[in-house]
Structure formats: C-alpha cells, structure tokens
Amino acid sequence: MYSAQEIQQFLSEKSAQLNACRHHLHQHPEIGLQLPETSAFIEKELRSYGVDEIHKGFGSSALVAVIHGKKKSDKWIGLRADMDALPLLEQSGVQYASVNEKRAHSCGHDGHMTVALGACRFLASHRDFEGTVAVIFQPGEEGYAGARLMVENGLFEKFPIAEIYATHCEPTLEVGQIGIDPGYIMAAADIFTIDVTGRGGHGAKPQVAVDSVLVASQIVVSAQSIVSRNVNPLQGAVVSFGAILAGDENGSSVLPQTAKLIGTCRSFEPDVQDRVQQRLGEIAEGVASAYGARAQCHYTRLYPALLNHEQQALAVKEIVRNWLGEEGLKPAPQQMTAEDFAFMTQVCPGCLFRLGIRDPKHTASLHECEFDFNDEATVYGSTLMVLIALNRLKAVNA
Ligand SMILES: [Zn+2]
Ligand SMILES: [Zn+2]
C-alpha cells in the first residue's frame, strides 16, 4: 500500500493546482441543490484526472466519481464532499473573493470539494489497490438536505458502498490537526411553530378577552423547563425560540386573537429528541388550556443527529495516530449544529472527521462573512481521505 508520506508528497507537488481549483470554486459560489457552474467545474477536473466513471443525477447537481483499483473486488468505499455555499456577503478580503452577489463559501465547502479532488487525483493515478472508491460531490448541505435526496435517489443501491467518510473544516483546530471521535458529534436539528389562538379584544377590557400574547409568553417561559427538568443533565438538548409574532406595531390597545412562536430544538440521542418534541407539545397545549386558549405545535425533524460509527471512527483515529502522531489527533467536540451527512451514516457505516484550518490568518468562525478555508489544510485533508479509502478497502476486503 502507498505510504502516508508518499501520498502527502504527491499531493504537495500538486498543491498549486489544487489551490487554484479551490480559489475558482470560492470565487463562484452557488447555493442550494442546483449548482450548475460548480458541478461543471468539478466534472472538467475529474475528467482531466482520468477517473473511470462520472455519474450525475440524484435529483440535483450531484456528481459521483468512480475509481477502480487494479485488483478486482466488489467492495466499495465512499468519500463525500459537500458543494454548496451560503447566502452571505463575503468580507474575507481575499483576492479570489466571491463575484456572485450575496453568495459566499463561508462554511468551507470549497475546501471540502478541493480535498476530494485531491483524493481523486491521487487515486486515479495510483491504482495499486483492491476494490473501488466512489467520491461523492453533494450539493444542498446548508438546509436543503441534499444528502437525503441522494440517499432517496438510490446512492447506496447504485453503488454498493460498504463504508462512507466525510470531512468538515474546523477553525478551532490548528492546521495539521484532525478531530475524530465515535458517537454523536452533531445534533439533530428540528424546527417548530406553535400557533396560539385566544380571543381578541380591547387592551382596556382584558377580562372579556383571552390574551394570546400572555399565553405565548407563558409558553416560552414554561418551555425552558424541558431541558432543565425533562432531559437527563448528562445528555444535551436545546430549545430556542427565534421569533414571537403577534399583533401590530400600531395596535397598542388591541389584544391580538392569535400569536405564533417559531424556534428550533437540538438533541443527540433519539430518546431525548422524542422527549423534547413530546414535552414541547404538551406544554404548549397545557399552558394554553390553562388560560382558556388553544395551542397547536407543528414540529418538523430536519436533519438527524450525526452518528460517527464506532468501528469506522476508531479506524480513522488509528490511521491519524500512525500518520501524524498523538499531537495531530484531537477529539471531535460535540456541537449543537447539524450536518446532513447524518442521512448517509443512518444507512451506511461511516464517520466525519474535523480538519484543522486554524493559523494566525484563519481564525474566523464558520458562517462568518470573514471566513475563508485555509489552503494549507488541503493536502492534510486529501491525504487522510486517500489513507482512509485504501485502509478501509483493505479492511473490508480482508
Ligand atoms: Zn455550514
Ligand atoms: Zn458546512
């Protein structure tokens, strides 16, 4: 098998070209599920590397590059990169800043695509392995559930992928550090609206009205007991209200008939998610009923929690330890943000590792308008993707 040093050396020699790819992708960001320019650029690159097959479709601008090893086997490993940007005005000040208005790669997915391109470049020109690698370029991570769409459109039926791996850049880890742990590392993201119906009336005659504003306020306060009283203190959850909508700014003496609450819940374990959803509904209805009003809670589960499967995450840890030593290996701190790669690890064993990008010039947070991926991290990301593909193919073929 190719050594880590050999892979890293090859990729370092290609780093100028990989950086040019990243800067092009960064400069032309697109959002959502349809990313025609991004997809065309990736396809052109992949063809120039000589990958065996490029598959398109999956209800979006997704691409899957297929690279067969010299030795035949029916075993496949999947590597996934997300492709989409955010509806933000970029203020990073870099030369290759976005030219598309209110579109910016402020979550580093330009870097993830480049990391995956680097892996394709190595694997396409180094075929001494057994089995097949599928490199999946997936749009629509930022709220469009692009990963779910690919799963629903037969990703895992079309390609018999045994294990799947992804990365996300991490501005709290230094360049050259990898964060990886088994278990839930990102939260399930749910959203809700609660519609409160009271009885409108005059602000000076509250005794004949049912005040939807008061009821909504009591629901907000009472819902704070869910995390503190209904969830095991050793497990995590969040209940946050993002909007309270009621009345009119000119209606200081009008008690509105209705009020609407909008918010998000986050959790890791399925039983906690069930409990939070159940209690939110019970509290909304119970509080409303106590005041003679009605409340209806509409609860939607957007992204499941991201589970890093134990066997696969421990395998990646071992690969990183052997390559970068203990100083390169960091924990993957649990975060209450979400990641749609979770739809893939729901149906296929795998894990996501965090790729360090921090240095004195790269300190901005993800989704911040100053954010830019760090080119210095690309070779680390690509090297690890290749190492994972080769090591895991060996393991699943054994
Ligand atoms: Zn993001
Ligand atoms: Zn992201």
Burial class (CB in 10 A: 0-12, 13-18, 19+), 373: buried
The closest of 79, 306, 73, 329 to 180, measured between CA atoms, is 329
CA of 185 relative to ligand 2 center, distance in Å: 14
On the question of pLDDT at 1 being above 90, the answer is: no
Tell me the average pLDDT across 172-201: 98
Specify the length of the chain in residues.
398
Domain with CATH 3.40.630.10 in the chain: 4-184+306-397
How far apart CA 88 and CA 232 sit, in angstroms, is: 37
How far apart CA 380 and CA 355 sit, in angstroms, is: 8
Which positions ≥6 away from 298 have C-beta within 8 Å?
A: 192, 193, 194, 195
**Catalytically annotated residue among 30, 45, 82, 84:** 84
The per-residue DSSP string of 278-301 comes to HHHHHHHHHHHHHTT-EEEEEEEE
How far apart CA 288 and CA 349 sit, in angstroms, is: 44
The number of the ligand nearest the C-alpha atom of 373 reads 2
pLDDT recorded at residue 333: 80
CA of 168 relative to ligand 1 center, distance in Å: 9
Q: Looking at the domain covering 4-184+306-397, what would its CATH class be?
A: alpha beta
CA of 256 relative to ligand 2 center, distance in Å: 40
How far apart CA 375 and CA 115 sit, in angstroms, is: 10
Question: 89 and 104 in contact (C-beta within 8 Å)?
Answer: yes
Q: Looking at the domain covering 188-303, what would its CATH class be?
A: alpha beta
How far apart CA 308 and CA 92 sit, in angstroms, is: 32
Tell me the average pLDDT across 272-299: 98
How far apart CA 272 and CA 255 sit, in angstroms, is: 36
**Catalytically annotated residue among 30, 141, 163, 339:** 141
The number of the ligand nearest the C-alpha atom of 81 reads 2
CA of 373 relative to ligand 2 center, distance in Å: 11
pLDDT in tens, 99-133: 999 999 999 999 999 999 999 999 999 999 999 99
Secondary structure letter of residue 378 according to DSSP: H
How far apart CA 78 and CA 71 sit, in angstroms, is: 17
pLDDT in tens, 241-258: 999 999 999 999 999 999
Region of 145 on the Ramachandran plot (φ > 0 left; ψ -120 to 50 alpha; else beta): left
How far apart CA 367 and CA 373 sit, in angstroms, is: 11
Strand, helix or coil for residue 365: coil
Burial class (CB in 10 A: 0-12, 13-18, 19+), 302: middle
Tell me the average pLDDT across 376-388: 98
Question: 131 and 159 in contact (C-beta within 8 Å)?
Answer: no
Q: What is the mean pLDDT of the chain?
A: 97
pLDDT in tens, 47-96: 999 999 999 999 999 999 999 999 999 999 999 999 999 999 999 999 99
**Residue 372 annotated in active site:** no
How far apart CA 260 and CA 14 sit, in angstroms, is: 54
On the question of pLDDT at 224 being above 90, the answer is: yes
How far apart CA 180 and CA 175 sit, in angstroms, is: 14
**Residue 53 annotated in active site:** no
CA of 272 relative to ligand 2 center, distance in Å: 25
Secondary structure letter of residue 235 according to DSSP: S
CA of 189 relative to ligand 1 center, distance in Å: 13
Q: Which residues surround ligand 2, an ion (CB under 5 A)?
A: 107
The closest of 98, 174, 118, 141 to 361, measured between CA atoms, is 174
The number of the ligand nearest the C-alpha atom of 142 reads 1
Rg (Cα) of the chain, in Å, rounded? 24
Which positions ≥6 away from 204 have C-beta within 8 Å?
A: 253
CB neighbourhood size of 37 (10 A): 14
Q: Which amino acid is at 153?
A: N
Q: Which amino acid is at 51?
A: V
pLDDT in tens, 9-24: 999 999 999 999 999 9
Domain with CATH 3.30.70.360 in the chain: 188-303
CB neighbourhood size of 215 (10 A): 26
pLDDT recorded at residue 320: 98
CA of 107 relative to ligand 2 center, distance in Å: 5
Residue 220 tokens read as 């907000």
The per-residue DSSP string of 60-89 comes to TTEEEEEEE-SEEEEEEEEEEEE---BS--
The number of the ligand nearest the C-alpha atom of 189 reads 1
pLDDT in tens, 320-334: 999 999 999 999 988
